Amino acid sequence: MGQEVEIILLKQLASCLRIPIALLDPDGAVTYFNEPAEGIFGLRFEETGGLPADEWIGMLQPSDQDHVPLKREERPLATALDRRVPGHRRLKARTGGQSWQELEVTGLPLTAEGDRFLGAMSLFWRPQERIERPADEPTPSQQAVETILTRRIAATWSAPVFLVDAFGRLLYFNRAAEPILGDRFLELSRPLSREMLYEAFEPRDADGNRLEPRDHPLGIARSTRQPAHRVIWIRGLDGHDRRIAATAIPLVGQSDCLVGVLGVFWESDG
C-alpha cells in the first residue's frame, strides 16, 4: 500500500532538518528517523527497517530525573498518540543505546484533513542554556526547499499552523489556524511583519502579562534555534481571546541557516 503523501512530505522535510526527528505510526512504532536522530537511537534508520514501540522504548528507557521509568501516560509521545494533543516533557533517556542523557521531547499528533490520524512526530533536543544567535541573511526571493515542504505539509495538517521566516515575518497559516486567528490567510491585505504580528495577536503569558517577542515560542525558536513550547494567550484577528498551547520548531536546514520557524498551536482548555 502506498504511503500517505503527508508522511512522504514529512520524511522529506525531516531529512532536510538538523533537529533529531522521528515519525511514529498510530501504534507507536517508529517508521522513520532522520540522520540527526541516529545519535538518539544509536543506529542508522536503514539498519532497522522500523522499530516497534516496545523495542525503541526498551532501547531509550524514557525516565524521570531519578531514572524511574515513565508510565505510558507520562510520555509525551503517548500523549500525542492517545489523546491527539501535543505532549512535551523533559526526561532522561539512554541515547545511543548507552549513556543517559537529558532530553526535551515534544510529540505532535499528525492528523491530516478528513480527520485521518497518521501517528505522531517526535522532536528531540538537548536542553541547554539559551544562546542568542545573530540573525541570518535576509530571505531571498526563492523560498528554501525546507520552507516550501513545510508549507505543503501545513496545508494538509488539521492542526493550526503558522509559518514565519527567519525574521519573524508571517509567510503562511493554514485553514485550521483561521478560526484561531479570526481571518483567512488569503484575505490578509498585506504580509505581516514580526512587529505587526505581535501587535495584532497581543500574546500574553498564562497570567495575562504581555509577552515580549523574545519570550514567545516563535521568538525563542528563532533566536536559539531550539524548539520551544509554552501555553500563552492570544487575541485573534476577530477580537476574541484564546488560550493556546504553542510549539515552535526552528527550520534549520542543510545549509545550517535558519530559514523559518513552524508554529503549531492547539486551543488549550486548562
Partner 1 sequence: MKITFWGTRGSLATPGRDTIRYGGNTSCVEIQGDDGATLVLDAGTGIRPLGESIQRGIARLDILLTHLHMDHIQGLGFFDPLFWPELDVHLWGPSSTTQGLHARLTRYLSPPLFPVRLADLPCSLTLHDVVAEPKFRIGRFEIEAGLVCHPGPTVGYRIHGDGGVVTYIPDHEPFLGEDELDLDSPWIPGLSLARDADLLIHDAQFSDEEYPLYVGWGHSSIEHTLAFARAAGVRHLAPFHHDPSHTDLILDRLYEDAQSAGELPFELTPATEGSCYEVSGREGRASVKLLPGKRP
Question: Given the rule CB under 8 A, which residues bind partner 1?
Answer: 2-3, 5-6, 8-9, 11-12, 15-18, 34-36, 38, 140-145, 148-149, 151-153, 156, 253-256
Backbone angles phi, psi at 186, to 5 degrees: -70, -15
C-alpha span between 245 and 196 (Å, rounded): 21
Q: Which residue has the cell 484564546?
A: 242
Measured from the CB of residue 172, what is the shortest distance to partner 1 in angstroms?
9
Q: Which is nearer to partner 1, 152 or 235 (CB)?
A: 152
Q: Which is nearer to partner 1, 46 or 66 (CB)?
A: 46
> What one-character-per-residue DSSP string does 184-215 give?
-GGG-SSPPPHHHHHHHH--B-TTSPBPPGGG
Measured from the CB of residue 16, what is the shortest distance to partner 1 in angstroms?
7
Measured from the CB of residue 35, what is the shortest distance to partner 1 in angstroms?
4
Measured from the CB of residue 153, what is the shortest distance to partner 1 in angstroms?
8
Identity of residue 12: Q
C-alpha span between 270 and 259 (Å, rounded): 33
Measured from the CB of residue 142, what is the shortest distance to partner 1 in angstroms?
4
Q: Which is nearer to partner 1, 18 or 235 (CB)?
A: 18
Q: Which is nearer to partner 1, 120 or 154 (CB)?
A: 154
* 58 contacts: CB under 8 Å, gap ≥ 6: none
Cell of 34: 532522520
> What one-character-per-residue DSSP string does 153-165 give?
HHHHBSS-EEEEE
Measured from the CB of residue 79, what is the shortest distance to partner 1 in angstroms?
27
Cell of 59: 532501547
Q: Which is nearer to partner 1, 35 or 136 (CB)?
A: 35
How long, in residues, is the chain?
270
Q: Which is nearer to partner 1, 79 or 122 (CB)?
A: 122
Report yes or no: 84 and 76 within 8 Å, Cβ to Cβ. Answer: no
